[in-house]
Amino acid sequence: MHVKNLECSFCHREYEARRLHNVCTECGKPLLVRYDLKRISKFLTRQALYARRSDLWRYRELLPVRREDNIVTLGEGWTPLHHAKSLGAALGLTELYVKDESLNPTQSFKARGMSVAVSMAKELGVTKIAAPSAGNAAGALAAYCALGGIQAFLFMPRDTPRANLIECEVAGAHITLVDGLITDCGAEVARRKEEEGWFDFSTLKEPYRVEGKKTLGYEIAEQSAWTLPDVIVYPTGGGTGLVGMWKAFDEMQQLGWIGEKRPRMVSVQAAGCAPIVRAFEKGERFAEEFPNATTIASGLRVPKAIGDFLILDAIRESDGTAVAVTDEELIAGARELARKEGIFAAPEGGACVPAVRKLIERGKVKADERVVLFNTGAGIKYLDAFDSEMKERTPRSQRPSALGPALRT
């Protein structure tokens, strides 16, 4: 609607907006959508949003789809910003909030990016999409491609949670399991895409998934009466949500909706796969590939992110930090979130709880500051992760029947 062009996030080369693009042809870095914000600010006000639909398309003028009939939506976005009073009290925080993305269609934040990106793919005439995924992105892509009439070709590690595999198969996607990590899956997409006629939907290798994810930033601002929190704690794999929020904050300031204040951005990773944490601690702008990456939180098992410098720039510009937690800590964090707030979080969301605890211990968060942590998906999709951890802690004689007590014979 009001898109001016696409711009390389690194070398700033500009590209025509109404054409298919992946990454910058000069430097290979992600492309970002640029809008005529000066024009938009003349007619779109914060007050104009109040009567609008309660999904991410309430920010229609700030999203790239031109024609209404190309929008592929299942009602994603406008998820709760839950005041976590009990968990906050346990941590010594009075203003702790959870942005609960598990209530999206397909039960994760991936629905946001895929809705916008698949809508743009439809608008630009794409008929086949391929993507690597650790699970939730594949589930979302399968669903939105099914709705949009586009074929989805998904490449996932062989140990991807079974719930995600079934979700994709039921939606009619073409699934290939790969022995390796998401980077190996991405390499397979890159190797075959030209011959197969696929458009590559890898994280930040097309410009539009980040546009869906940026609505996280718009929603947090609107749900907080346009006053941004002091700290945002975000579980980081590919980091599209963090990059998107940082973009949204800049856009909102240009629109006159918020001031210069920014939250301190905190990237949370698993200790077994922490390339951003390691690069941050070393003072590096780019993150080297993390060797032998392993974690039970499949969404955090991203050993190399193409948007690494964007993540690290946002962390440093906001005076934020990066924190690693162990698998044991993140599963315990998910359990604590469930027991204190009733939110059955994905392991990635659970990682934010011990991360906040570490931030408090290190003096990075004060008791009266407003802190938002993200639960990026539903724990119900990770039953194997929770079940295996439970079995490790429980003697065999005390383990419940797989059928449950009501169905024992």
Amino acid at 128: K
How many whole angstroms separate alpha carbon 31 and alpha carbon 306?
A: 11
How many whole angstroms separate alpha carbon 145 and alpha carbon 122?
A: 9
| 116 Cβ neighbours under 8 A, 6+ residues apart | 56, 63, 64, 65, 208, 209, 211, 212
CA dist list (Å): 278 to 239, 258, 269, 303: 15, 32, 10, 11
How many whole angstroms separate alpha carbon 181 and alpha carbon 288?
A: 16
pLDDT score at 409: 30
pLDDT (mean) for 142-147 = 98
pLDDT score at 161: 87
Place of tokens 């104009």: 48
Taking 60 as the threshold, does the pLDDT of residue 53 lie above it?
A: yes
Taking 50 as the threshold, does the pLDDT of residue 403 lie above it?
A: no
The DSSP bridge partners found for residue 234 are 267
Ranges of H-type helices in 125-181 = 136-148, 162-170
Each domain of the chain, given as residue ranges in start order, spans: 81-107+210-389
Q: Which CATH architecture has domain 81-107+210-389?
A: 3-Layer(aba) Sandwich (3.40)
Q: Which two tokens stand for residue 228?
A: 């941004």
What is the 3-state composition of the chain as percent helix, strand, coil, each rounded to the nearest 5? Answer: 45, 15, 40
Mean pLDDT across the chain: 94
Amino acid at 66: R
Is residue 220 within 8 Å of 372, Cβ to Cβ? yes
Is residue 54 within 8 Å of 78, Cβ to Cβ? yes
pLDDT (mean) for 388-392 = 60
The 10s digit of each residue's pLDDT in 171-188 is 999 999 999 999 999 999
How many whole angstroms separate alpha carbon 17 and alpha carbon 133?
A: 26
- Ramachandran region of residue 225, left (φ > 0), alpha (ψ -120 to 50) or beta? left
What is the pLDDT confidence band of residue 212, given thresholds at 50, 70 and 90?
Answer: very high
Taking 80 as the threshold, does the pLDDT of residue 394 lie above it?
A: no
pLDDT score at 406: 36
pLDDT (mean) for 113-127 = 98
| Range in 17-31, 217-231, 310-324, 389-403 the model is least confident about | 389-403
What are the φ and ψ backbone dihedral angles of 37, each rounded to 5 degrees?
-70, -30
pTM of the model: 0.93
